[in-house]
Structure 1
Amino acid sequence: MGYKIVFFDIDGTLLNEDKQIPHSTVAAIKQLKSRGIEPVIATGRAPYFIKPLTEQLGIDSYVCFNGGYAVYQGEPLHRRVISKSSVEALVTLAAKHKHALVFEGEHAFFADAEEHPFVTSSVSSLKVDMPGYDPHFWKTNDVYQIFLHCESKDEHLYEELHSELKLIRWHEHAMDVLPAGGSKAQGIAALLKLVGLTPGEAAAFGDGLNDKEMLSFVGFGVAMGNSHPDLLPYADYITKHVDEEGIRIGLVKMGLIAG
């Protein structure tokens, strides 16, 4: 099938462990665009985390916050925020267990703890600036996503919130928190509806646990060779590692670029 749009995760997909984009990927994206096929970012990152990458690749359409915020050709078209009551419930429980939170708004993000080691280790791994400090940010601003900082052994402490919130681990010290039922697929569905395309006309590349719904939703889902093992059953094709021309090989497999 002739896929008309391709969604790309960032960390572990477009970017390697050093947060660099391989030259083969840059060339593949350029060739994809030259053939009239639109590349779109689909990430758990916030919009302000991805600007250097979108500028480097010449991409102006993206789905951020794990589907909570979608932009098409520079214009915001979809927003999904966490309810104040759900944020408050998480804030109360996290404070009880002394776990730090980072609140992600549309234009900025803030932590409820100063110089917390888990916040430092997780956020620094993204190679972005550290969040500001404002424990009350969530009270007066829309929050699209939250970083909950705890180890895997403590995840069970938040089971009572699962009817309201979805937790996805992305770092040994941090999880993404989004509304229950939220996923990249939600933001992608909103974008596709706007541009008049069906899920069957879309493809996607990912490597993490937050990519399950995305790979299942589109017409052709590609898992990177470096993917989390639990993602592989959701993929139609498993390509090579991000540093082994995985993006190029996957696009060639679909017949979207020349081999």
Structure 2
Amino acid sequence: MIKTIFFDVDGTLVSHKTDSVPASTKRALELLRENGVKLVLATGRDMSQLNKLPVRDIKFDGYVTMNGQLCLDENGKELFGNPIDEVDTEKMIELIKEKRVPITTIGKEGPYINFVTDQVVAAQKAVSSKVAPIGKYHGEEVYQFIAYGDRNELKTLVDELPNCKLSWWNEYAVDIISKNGGKLAGIKKYLELQNQTLDDAMAFGDGENDLEMLKAVKVGVAMGNGEEHVKQIADYVTTDINKDGIYNASMHYKLI
């Protein structure tokens, strides 16, 4: 029996063709909640970004944010935090100061960036988001970095960060998180706190950073608009986000 469903945001709940949550998706979420299923976001975004998206008007039972780095309850209270290792943070701050690579730094207070390029603008536009404001590091805990640029060049960053890994979400952008992090790590922690297991969970996603969670939960659903390698590992491929994907999969599994 599915007790909790985890939802990616971009391309899964929010359509960037319409910059909205489809009406059928909203209806599916309402029916799932009425049937006692917990609804949790599992996203690479932080709360300051989520509060600017259409999902802000929907009630969720929890938030696995920044690719599992910071998990919150329905009221925004911290359940679990996994900041990036201090040594790796210091190395990234040096890169930021050198301005070799555009890098967004994200802590609990939200994101800021060191400088902006056309690739930064293009990547953020693809997910209907504004570029973070220019800012400086002041010693706060960092939960996620976002680096922008050529993919082959960015891949070398991980060689300098032994305690981190990369999570791609755009051809020009990659999230940098703790090596023991990721959406799946955050999901496991959330479920543990709910006295549930992965066998109680279902997940919806469309991109590379959804692969781990889709493979691990009881039922992993890929959106019809998702990347091909995501569809290949999913238990079920539903229709496009703009063609009632969430609603149709919920009906298929008799959850609504």
Q: 1:123 to 1:32 in 2, by over 3 A?
A: same
Distance in 1 between residues matched to 2:159 and 2:217, nearest whole Å: 32
Tell whether the 8 Å contact from 2:123 to 2:170 is kept in structure 1 after alignment.
Answer: yes
Deviation at 1:165, TM superposition (A): 1.5
Residue number in structure 1 paired with 2:38: 38
Distance 1:116 1:104, change over 3 A: same
Amino acid of the residue matched to residue 99 of structure 1?
V
Kept in 1, the 8 Å contact 2:96–2:114? The answer is no
Work out whether residues 21 and 55 of structure 2, in 8 Å CA contact, stay in contact via their aligned partners in 1.
no
Contact 2:215 2:234 (C-alpha < 8 Å) held by counterparts: yes
Shift of 1:225: 0.9
Is the 2:104–2:147 Cα contact (8 Å) retained in structure 1? yes
Q: Could you say which residue in structure 2 is the equivalent of 1:110?
A: 112
Mapped contact 2:158–2:164 kept (Cα < 8 A): no
Counterpart secondary structure, 2:67:
helix
Distance 1:57-1:224 versus aligned 2 partners, 3 A rule: same
Amino acid at match of 1:83: D
Deviation at 1:105, TM superposition (A): 1.0
Q: Which moved more, 1:156-165 or 1:195-204?
A: 156-165
**Aligned mates of 1:94, 1:64 — CA distance in 2:** 23
Show the counterpart of 1:142.
141
Give 2:42's aligned amino acid. Answer: A
Matching residue's letter, 1:218: V
Contact (CA 8 Å) 1:54, 1:60: kept in 2 or not? no
Greater CA deviation, 199-208 or 119-128? 119-128
Provide the residue aligned with 1:15 in structure 2: 14
**Number of residues paired by the alignment?**
253
User: Would you say the 8 A contact 1:30–1:57 is kept in 2?
Assistant: no
Partner of 2:82: 80
2:105, 2:142 within 8 Å by CA — same for their partners in 1? yes
Q: Deviations over 1:200-221 (max 9, x none)?
A: 0110000010011111221111
Tell me how far 1:88 sits from its aligned partner.
2.4
User: Which one is further off, 52-61 or 80-89?
Assistant: 52-61
Structure 2 counterpart of 1:45, which letter? Answer: R
RMSD of the TM alignment (CA)? 1.9
**1:201-212 map, 5 Å:** 201-212=200-211
Residue ranges of structure 1 left out of the alignment (5+ in a row):
none
